[in-house]
């Protein structure tokens, strides 16, 4: 007798290929029917989204409670259950993001390109990327991120979240569709995929002809899997980030920067993992670190090479450095400490072990700063400051949907301006080439 367990594998379903076709056709039709980028409908959408999230909140939280309950029943550990749970703080964050995005819409606009050729005037005009697919795990706030930023600049989106949040995402989709309808936009611009068997994900990743851009947000394994698709990808490769402390640096500042770059979000992608310190100032730098930890009543584990002197101090724990610690993300309040002989060795270490995400230098020597600025190839180089400054809103670059470390189209904060491509318009006023 057929039961749920006997549902055949995805690749054995006879009509597996037709489902993505219908879904893609619907999303593309919505994209075609949508007004051009910059239309007042997108401003209305951001406002309506904030309102509909509030109006739907009782239903969203009720749906979320069933997801949380189901996760608990399925034996998922508390860390995962916490990631699924939506609170009023998440609601406020999502509403604030909608309001901020609305204010930032004006930044995505035509730019006149100075020319001196046959054309009288050339404008660089932002165009939507097209159909954007987001693939993410657990956290349901990403559903709103994905329905908000890309759609506000005229893209259609497919949102493939984890099946653990299926009920929450379905409730969110109702709020999102009501917001689109309020704004006069086609509801098909946002499609929340119901894909418990990963069948759609596999099929859609094979459709570079229809899906224009892929934005994975999740574990390294998920991002790596998405990389196997031929669809262009906007993704963060994770942050194996360094801070280089030159002997000219203010060591008190260096200690404060180290702690601010690690402790508030120890598993964040902009957190520092390895401190490279000039050998001559290694001991006073560690003293400064111990002092700051004591004042902050905080704890940090420092993994060091043999022979490094670590003062006995509350909050400062020493462990031996293992070879595999270089270039890793500790995902906790731990840093590796490596002594170097000057900026050249520091640059070489960053080249060998960095992931091109966020790299920092602490120095008063202008030549050292200049060398770091020019020679470190990362999405962000921070001079004399916290690595955690690498954040769109914090820097004033705008709201971000991810931090990209790819080579093309966008690096660093993926803001509204990065969720579009562009075309040119020339007002030729009758000019011929001849």
Partner 1 sequence: MPPNLSLDRAAVATVVKKTVVAESRLSIAPESVSEDEPLVGDLLHVNSLGFVGMLVRIEDELDAALPDNLFVGRSFRTVGDLIDVVTTAEATR
Whichever of 142 and 288 has its CB closer to partner 1, that residue is: 142
Under rule CB under 8 A, residue 9 binds partner 1: yes
Q: Supply the DSSP string of 348-380, one letter for each residue.
A: HHHHHH--SSEEEEE-S-HHHHHHHHHH--SSE
Q: Which residue has the tokens 């892929």?
A: 214
Binding mask 71-90 for partner 1 (x = CB under 8 A): ---xxxx-xx--x-------
List the beta strands (DSSP E) in 182-235: 190-192, 213-217
Among residues 12, 89, 312, 429, the one that binds partner 1 under rule CB under 8 A: 12
Name the one range near partner 1 by CB under 8 A: 1-9, 94-102, 388-396, 410-418: 1-9
The dihedral built from the CA positions of residue 268, 393, 90 and 197, taken in this order, carries a sign that is: negative
206 makes contact with partner 1 (CB under 8 A): no
Q: Which residue has the tokens 């100075």?
A: 114
Tell me the two tokens of residue 331: 């995902």
- Matching residue, tokens 């002809």: 209
Identified binder of partner 1 from the candidate list 297, 324, 407, 423, rule CB under 8 A:
324
DSSP secondary structure code for residue 233 in this structure: B
| Residue nearer to partner 1 on the CB measure, 31 or 357 | 357
Segments in 105-190 forming alpha helices (H) = 141-152, 166-183
Within a 13 Å sphere around the CA of 164, how many CA atoms are in the beta-carbon half?
A: 22
Position among 110, 224, 348, 427 found at the interface with partner 1 (CB under 8 A): 224
Largest CA distance in the chain: 81
The rounded distance, in Å, linking the Cα atoms of 161 and 121 is: 44
Q: Where in 238-267 is the site for partner 1 (CB under 8 A)?
A: 238, 240
User: Binding segment for partner 1 among 43-51, 170-178, 221-229, 371-379 (CB under 8 A)?
Assistant: 221-229
Asked if 62 is part of the footprint of partner 1 (rule: CB under 8 A), the reply reads no
- 116 contributes a contact to partner 1 by CB under 8 A: no
Candidates 58, 220, 311, 314: give the one binding partner 1 (CB under 8 A).
220
**Which tokens belong to 125?**
């005009």
CB-CB neighbours of 346 under 10 Å: 26
Shortest separation between residue 126's beta carbon and partner 1, angstroms: 32
Q: Establish if 3 lies at the interface with partner 1 (CB under 8 A).
A: no
- HSE-up of 113 (CA within 13 Å, CB side)? 15
Judged by CB under 8 A, the number of residues near partner 1 is 40
Instruction: Examine residue 19 and tell whether it contacts partner 1 (CB under 8 A).
Output: no
Residue 230 Cβ vs partner 1, minimum distance, rounded to whole Å: 14
The beta strands (E) that lie in 102-141 are given as 111-113, 121-128, 131-136
Residue closer to partner 1 by CB (options 56, 160) is 160
- Least distance CB 146 / partner 1 (angstroms): 17
407 binds partner 1, rule: CB under 8 A: no
- Measured between alpha carbons, how far is 176 from 365 in angstroms, rounded to an integer? 52
Candidates 103, 120, 124, 197; binder of partner 1 (CB under 8 A) is 197
Task: Collect all residues with Cβ–Cβ distance below 8 Å to 301 and sequence separation of at least 6.
Answer: 317, 318, 319, 332, 333, 334, 335
Residue closer to partner 1 (CB basis): 126 or 162:
162
The residue within the footprint of partner 1, chosen from 28, 44, 163, 279 (CB under 8 A), is 163
Residues that bind partner 1 (CB under 8 A): 6, 8-12, 74-77, 79-80, 83, 137-138, 162-163, 196-198, 201, 218-225, 228, 238, 240, 322, 324, 327-331, 353
């Amino acid at each position: 007798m057929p039961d749920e367990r006997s549902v055949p594998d995805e690749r054995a379903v006879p009509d597996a290929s037709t489902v993505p076709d219908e879904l893609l056709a619907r999303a593309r039709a919505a994209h075609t029917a949508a007004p051009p980028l910059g239309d007042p409908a997108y401003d209305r959408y951001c406002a309506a989204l904030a309102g509909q999230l509030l109006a739907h909140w009782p239903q969203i939280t009720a749906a979320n409670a069933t997801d949380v309950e189901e996760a608990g029943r399925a034996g998922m550990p508390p860390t995962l259950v916490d990631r699924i749970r939506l609170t009023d703080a998440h609601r406020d964050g999502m509403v604030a993001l909608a309001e901020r995005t609305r204010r930032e819409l004006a930044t995505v606009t035509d730019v006149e390109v100075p020319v001196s050729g046959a054309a009288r005037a050339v404008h660089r005009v932002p165009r939507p990327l097209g159909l954007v697919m987001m693939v993410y795990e657990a956290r349901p706030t990403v559903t709103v991120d994905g329905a908000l930023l890309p759609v506000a600049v005229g893209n259609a989106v497919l949102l493939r979240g984890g099946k653990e949040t299926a009920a929450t995402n379905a409730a969110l989709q109702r709020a999102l569709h009501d917001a689109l309808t309020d704004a006069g936009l086609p509801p098909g611009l946002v499609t929340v995929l119901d894909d418990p068997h990963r069948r759609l994900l596999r099929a859609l990743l094979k459709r570079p002809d229809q899906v224009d851009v892929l934005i994975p947000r999740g574990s390294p394994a998920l991002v790596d899997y998405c990389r196997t698709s031929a669809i262009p990808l906007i993704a963060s490769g994770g942050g194996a980030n360094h801070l280089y402390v030159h002997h000219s640096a203010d060591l008190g500042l260096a200690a404060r920067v180290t702690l601010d770059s690690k402790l508030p979000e120890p598993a964040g992608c902009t957190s520092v993992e390895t401190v490279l310190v000039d050998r001559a100032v290694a001991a006073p730098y560690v003293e400064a670190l111990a002092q700051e930890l004591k004042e902050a009543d905080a704890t940090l584990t420092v993994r060091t090479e043999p022979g490094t002197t670590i003062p006995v101090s509350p909050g400062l724990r020493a462990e031996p450095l293992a070879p595999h610690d270089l270039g890793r993300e500790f995902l906790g309040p731990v840093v590796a400490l490596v002594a170097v002989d000057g900026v050249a060795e520091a640059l070489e270490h960053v080249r060998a072990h960095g992931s091109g995400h966020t790299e920092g230098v602490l120095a008063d020597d202008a030549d050292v700063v200049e060398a770091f600025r020019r020679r470190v190839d990362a999405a962000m180089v921070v001079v004399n400051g916290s690595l955690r400054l690498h954040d769109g809103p914090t820097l004033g670059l705008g709201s971000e949907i991810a931090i990209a470390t790819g080579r093309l189209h966008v690096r660093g904060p993926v803001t509204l301006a990065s969720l579009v491509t562009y075309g040119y318009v020339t007002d030729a006023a009758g000019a011929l080439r001849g």
